[in-house]
Each structure stands twice: as C-alpha cells, then as structure tokens.
Amino acid sequence: RISDKFHPEFKTGDFNGLSVPHRVYNELQVEAHKSKFNGIRVKDRRDISTHEKVLDRKTRVVILKMVNSGIIAQVNGVVSSGKESVIIHCNGGSLPGKDPAPVPDECVLKVHKTTLNEFSRRKDYIDRRYTKLISNNKKKLVEIWSMKEVHNLNRLRRHGVPCPEVVAYRKQLLLLSFIGSKGVPALTLKEAVFSRDQLRSAYEQLISGMKTMFTKCQLVHGDLSAYNLLWFNGTLYFIDLGQGVLSSHTAALTYLYRDCESMHGYFDARGLKGLHDARSMFVEITEFEDLNVKDETVFLTQIEHLQRQEVTNFKHGRQSSDYAFESCFNESILQDVSSSEDEEDEEGGGEGK
C-alpha cells in the first residue's frame, strides 16, 4: 500500500486498488518530507501574539522562567481580560539575589496584548520627539508601553497615590501586587455598590489622587474611567497607567479635561449631591484659577493656550527632569531591545527580570 510508505501523520487518502503515476508519487514524497518538519512547529498568528486569554509562546517561556527562578511560586489562572491586557493571578515567591527580597503573597501578571489595532494610536500618548525611534514596530511599541506603565506606577507610589506596586517586569509582562484578597480581585468603580458616604469618599479620593498626579507627579492619566479605578477596603486605586502622559505633553490638558468629563458623568449618574461640573473639577485639580468655567468655548480655548505654554516651558528646561521614563527613549537602549528580540528568537525566550 502506498500509504505505508509515508509517515503516519501524512494523510494520503485511500489509494487501495489504484495505480499512481511516478510523477504523483514523487510529489507526494516531497510533500510528506515537508510536512514531517512543518509538523514539528506549525506557526500561525497565535504563536507570535497574545489574543484574548491565550498567551504567546515567548510569554509562556518568560512566565516559566519566573517560576523556575522562584519569583513566582504558583500561577493560578486568569482573573480578568480587557482590550489591552490579560491579568493572571499568582502566588509570589522571592526575588533572586544575595539577600532575596520577598514577593507579595498574592500578585498578578499583567500581559499586554500584542495583537491590538488600538496600539497603532498609542503613539499619541508618547512625546513626539520619541515616536520616530519606535517607527511602526508594534512589538517594540508594546514593550515601550509596558516600561512606560512601570515608571508611571513607580512615580505615583513615590507621591503616595494608591496604585499597584511593580514587583518585576520583562518585555510586555508586568508582575504587580494584587489589589484584592484570597484570589478575588477588587471591584472596579463600575461594579462597586456604594453607600452615600462611600460614594462621597470615592469622589474625594479621586480628586485628591488626580490633583497629586498633576501637581506633584506631573502626570495625567489620559484614559480615566470607572473601569480603571478599583475600590478595595474603602480605598480608591488607580490602575492602567500605560497611557499616562507628562503635563508637558502637547495634549495633556485635553486628556485631563476628558478624564474630568468621564468621571463627572459617572458620579453624576450615581446621584452624588453637590457635584461640581467637569470644568470646575479641572480647575480644582490643576489650580488654574484664572480659567473661565462658565463658557465652555472660552474654557477650551484657554486650555489650548495653556498647553502651548506648558510645551514651551518644557523646551526651555523648566519641566521636572526626574522622570525616569526619559531613559527609555535613549536610542541605543531601543536598539538593545531590538537586538535582544533577535537573540530570544534563537534561544527560545528571554529570562524574567
């Protein structure tokens, strides 16, 4: 039988009783030889990307190395999946070194997805001086996005704004402290049910956090909504800081006003009494007392003027220089990121940091 002359995985069909020309037989041999090696590793879009709740091969390798190194003691499963990332609950171990530092008992792995079309416009949230360095490389953009979130979260924690703690990160994967208890994540503001006093407390914490972010951290969240604020044990936590921009960004104040409109809409729908409008929230957060909050057209014109002024101040060196994320855009570092990808392709994955 002809089928006996090929490896079992190669489907030849039923040739019983049929005479096959030499040309057809030779073509079958060639295809069987190809399929023998292609069957070892079939590559498709899912092999090189994160999609919904599926992790790509390289990400699984990084997670495995973090487990083998003891940083992660146990991976428990997906607790959340959004348009930008997959959140995996795990138990922490200890950071390697001469004096191993303990990792929080409950952590989450945040894996930024690499297949999102939304990332094509994420360059809008990065300073124009640096976007040319990442061109149209989506994988590199996602890694830069992850580093940006790391530095933004660290800056918030330095100034006392409640947010997850960054334990470790590697490429598009972040190991963060878990906001929740016993594997149950904290509720988002969208899911939480408040008493009247709790709703007032959440609003006050929101204004305080946004004001500290703008005046001390010199950051604007940029995509604030009821879905990326967590409520746990009476405390409001800010999450998803990847799109956060410096106050010197060309659209920072526009983003901030959009955040104010979004949060005003949420608390207004919840029936919070004595709520200021979005323009008054903006003034309270920024302390720009001279803005005209009565006329929206004039207000928006004033914001545009202030944005140009902030950018001018930045260009003249009057912006804070301690923003760690500036180092991420060193061109040589970006080249190192690119070369490390090539090395990882040869070795089968990078080591977790």
Catalytic residue (choose from 56, 223, 240, 259): 223
44 classed as catalytic:
no
Helix (H, G, I), strand (E, B) or coil at 140: helix
Helix (H, G, I), strand (E, B) or coil at 253: helix
8 A C-beta contact, residue 349 and residue 58: yes
What stretch of H or E contains 304?
helix 296-315
Cα distances (Å, whole numbers) of residue 351 to 69, 88, 148, 172, 328: 9, 19, 20, 13, 19
252-269 vs 296-315: helix axis angle to the nearest 10?
A: 140
Helices (H) and strands (E) in the chain, counts: 9, 14
8 A C-beta contact, residue 178 and residue 239: no
Nearest Cα neighbor of 279 from 266, 290, 294, 268 is 294
**Dist CA 269 CA 110 (whole Å):** 31
Q: 């029936």: which residue's tokens?
A: 271
The residues, ordered by sequence, that sit 6+ positions from 36 with a Cβ below 8 Å of its Cβ are: 7, 9, 10
**Dist CA 352 CA 344 (whole Å):** 12
Q: What is the DSSP letter of 87?
A: E
8 A C-beta contact, residue 238 and residue 212: no
* Positions marked active-site: 223
